[in-house]
Amino acid sequence: MVSVIFLQRELRLLARQKADWLNPILFFIIVLSLFPLGVGPEPNMLRIIAPGVIWIAALLSVLLASERLFKDDYRNGVIEQLVAGRQSLLAFVLAKTFANWLSTGLPLLLLSPVVALLLGLEQAALGAMALTLLLGTPLLSLLSVLGSALTMAADKGGILLALLILPLYIPLLIFASSAIEAASMGLGYQGQLAILLAMLLLALALVPMAVTSALRINVS
């Protein structure tokens, strides 16, 4: 019940602050639109660079929305009240993470057919891209929430957030782009998906507790 209340609060905030979720989506679309213009419309070239381009754009667009995840709640005293009142910080963190995925990860997943059209991906590669986004975007949200919690007290935490989180994104980038590349070549990619699933489950088990600890430390 507490998680539902927190989630409703996050969705209301997203409805008021449309730029927080519109900017990452527009950034994702713009980056993917510029690559064909920069490298030329040659289909084979686009198919070769597509896996890396898709995931680099996804990583950067999610990172763009990460800095302010906890900063406003920290400045307004919301997190301090939750800690002082011994409220369920875990429910707050889970609601924040799910709302972040709804506003960034889910739109990227829904945009995958448009991405396939822009980069000339075949049907098999489109399926692999959708599966990697389905498994990878929740992991991106978890890591983004962790980075935001660690840097929420910093005045200019954007660069620090990038330095902390981008190295954690690297395994996801490698295996997700590898899966799309394998699918485009007609090869199996079940192994890459299994690794992505394992990474997601590990993050689900560890990251929310780490975030709650970071929040408590920042307000103590």
Domain boundaries, the chain: 2-219
What is the per-residue pLDDT for 111?
84
- Please answer whether residues 21 and 103 qualify as being in contact, where contact means their C-beta atoms are separated by less than 8 angstroms: yes
What is the per-residue pLDDT for 157?
62
SS3 per-residue string spanning 85-154:
CCCCHHHHHHHHHHHHHHHHHHHHHHCHHHHHHHHCCCHHHHHHHHHHHHHHHHHHHHHHHHHHHHHCCC
Q: Which residues of the chain have pLDDT under 70?
A: 1-3, 40-41, 43, 86-87, 156-157
Counting Cβ atoms within 10 Å, is residue 115 exposed (0-12), middle (13-18) or buried (19+)? Answer: buried
What is the per-residue pLDDT for 210?
92
- Please answer whether residues 147 and 112 qualify as being in contact, where contact means their C-beta atoms are separated by less than 8 angstroms: no
Give, in order, the Cα–Cα distances in Å from 4 to each of 8, 9, 91: 6, 9, 9
- Please answer whether residues 91 and 3 qualify as being in contact, where contact means their C-beta atoms are separated by less than 8 angstroms: yes
- Written as one string, the DSSP assignment of 39-74 is H-S-HHHHHHHHHHHHHHHHHHHHHHTTTTTTHHHH
| DSSP code for 76 | T
Q: What is the pLDDT of residues 151-206, one digit of tens each?
A: 887 776 677 788 888 888 899 989 998 998 888 888 888 999 999 999 999 999 99
What is the per-residue pLDDT for 64?
81
pTM value surpassing 0.75: yes
The Cα–Cα gap between 136 and 55 comes to 9
- Please answer whether residues 117 and 54 qualify as being in contact, where contact means their C-beta atoms are separated by less than 8 angstroms: no
The Cα–Cα gap between 52 and 177 comes to 5
